[in-house]
Amino acid sequence: MKREQQWQSTLAGVVVSLMIVAIPLRTGKLVGPLDAVTLFIPLALLATLPLAFKLKPQGALYKFLAIAMALFLFWALISIAVVSPHGSNLLTWVRYLGYFLLIPATGLITRDKRMRIMILWALCIAGFGSSLFAQYQFTHHDHYPPPLWFWESYTIPFRAYSTFENPNFFGELLVVLITASMALAGYYFKKNKILCIVVSVMIIDQVAALYITYTRGSWLALVLALFIAALIFKPKLSIPLFIATGLAALVPQVRYRFTGMFASGSSADFRLGLWKIAFKGISERPVFGGGLGDFYDVYHRVVTQYRYLYQGYQHFGAHNSYFQLAAEIGILGGLFFLATVVCVVISGVLIARQYAQDLSTRWMVALLTGGLAGFAFNALTSDSFQHPRAAIYYFVAAGVLMGFMRSKPQPAGSSAEVSAPTTRAAT
């Protein structure tokens, strides 16, 4: 690899790593009117631009993902033009564009193995740091110490949310960061036992933080992520994982948290009410929706017209990213976005097959794929993709995953891996 490309890859990797670590540190504005997400996405893309001129994404899987992303952006733009050509809608469209561009940008950076590990470290540190703050928050709350083993009711004394506005957003973020950290631990498993132990401690801290969010969807998402990773890496691992999940279900708080779903007036009832509102909005405007980023307006219009659907709020999210997008830009637009999610997960499964003999890399790919699938699953009961400070980690992790892609399958028995970007001529 040329020295110039090494510097370009390193610079872009540093910018992306700074973005990863900076986002959980500040809840408000970072520089002037800009928050960390708004500031760092264009910086990361600009830092990657020199590489993009000299390299191209490897592998045919990028084409299918690119088609799905292009269709979503195209349909969203048509929806904006037809329904609500306002500045806020265009800014929302630009945000999704930035998300999508982060995947190939991060993929180019992480073709360099050094940058891949650095970004995984950044993800691990971001999860560890935000988890430490969540635990501080939990232990210094007025209701601490809560009844850790026995509850008399379904009431939760406190749910940790770290620097996020909502424990649900923090929980879904941790699903991606925990699996990315586990991927990093697998990398060091045989290479450096001390670093493997250090990363493992950081993983335990993140799992503990996820626990005290008391977020059912994220708990289930992590379990699903680990099962998918096990099936990709070594299906036999799903058996002890199943046993561990069964034992976790015996913990009183976990059991009570899930049985509480069926209590009268539970959050499950509330979500069902929100989904009915989303369905009503979709049924009224199934083609172009009510405007990208304008679900609050869709919600308000529906509950004003159909008072029996009123949920106690004049504005609220759909608590389902896919329903919300379908209500905003039409059914077809929602399906195009879902296609991008499916393409990412399928790509992970196919990339893992390229590393049949390289167990360390296969482990990393399996965990990243599982984490991305878990986040996408979480979006069935949360506005996961609509919350920038959590969603951006999905797209960065997807980029890291795509960085593992080889342009051509390796011979059986080969564990060699391209550790740095190659020139266009070399590919």
Could you tell me if 23 and 160 are in contact, meaning their C-beta atoms sit under 8 angstroms apart?
A: no
Residues 137-145 have a mean pLDDT of 76
Residue 58 has pLDDT above 70, yes or no: no
Residue 415 has pLDDT above 90, yes or no: no
Q: How far is CA 155 from the centre of its chain?
A: 29
Which tokens sit at 244?
């561990």
Q: How confident is the model at residue 388 (pLDDT cuts 50, 70, 90)?
A: very high
Higher pLDDT, 44 or 255: 44
Q: Closest by alpha carbon to 41, among 80, 96, 111?
A: 96
Peptide bond between residue 167 and the one before it cis (omega within 30 degrees of 0): no
**Using CA atoms, how far apart are residues 55 and 53, in angstroms rounded to an integer?**
6
**Using CA atoms, how far apart are residues 326 and 156, in angstroms rounded to an integer?**
33
- Mean pLDDT, the chain, rounded, equals 87
Higher pLDDT, 261 or 405: 405
Could you tell me what percent of the chain has a pLDDT over 90? 68
Residue 150 has what pLDDT? Answer: 45
Highest mean pLDDT: which range of 4-8, 121-125, 143-147? 121-125
Residue 259 has what pLDDT? Answer: 78
Where do we find the tokens 């400070």? Answer: 389
Q: How confident is the model at residue 419 (pLDDT cuts 50, 70, 90)?
A: very low
Residue 191 has what pLDDT? Answer: 93
- Of the listed ranges 52-66, 71-85, 242-256, 357-371, the least confidently predicted one is 52-66
Residue 59 has what pLDDT? Answer: 65
Residue 412 has what pLDDT? Answer: 41
Residue 406 burial (10 A CB sphere; 0-12, 13-18, 19+): middle
Q: How confident is the model at residue 330 (pLDDT cuts 50, 70, 90)?
A: very high
244-261 pLDDT tens trace: 999 988 887 788 788 767
**Using CA atoms, how far apart are residues 306 and 284, in angstroms rounded to an integer?**
12
Higher pLDDT, 151 or 322: 322
Could you tell me if 184 and 199 are in contact, meaning their C-beta atoms sit under 8 angstroms apart?
A: yes
Which tokens sit at 178?
């925990």
Could you tell me if 163 and 26 are in contact, meaning their C-beta atoms sit under 8 angstroms apart?
A: yes
Q: How confident is the model at residue 57 (pLDDT cuts 50, 70, 90)?
A: low
Kindly calculate the radius of gyration of the chain based on its CA atoms and give it in whole angstroms.
Answer: 22
| Domain extent listing, the chain | 11-21+34-402
337-386 pLDDT tens trace: 999 999 999 999 999 999 989 999 999 999 999 999 999 999 999 999 99
Residue 152 has what pLDDT? Answer: 47
Residue 187 has what pLDDT? Answer: 96
Residue 107 has pLDDT above 50, yes or no: yes
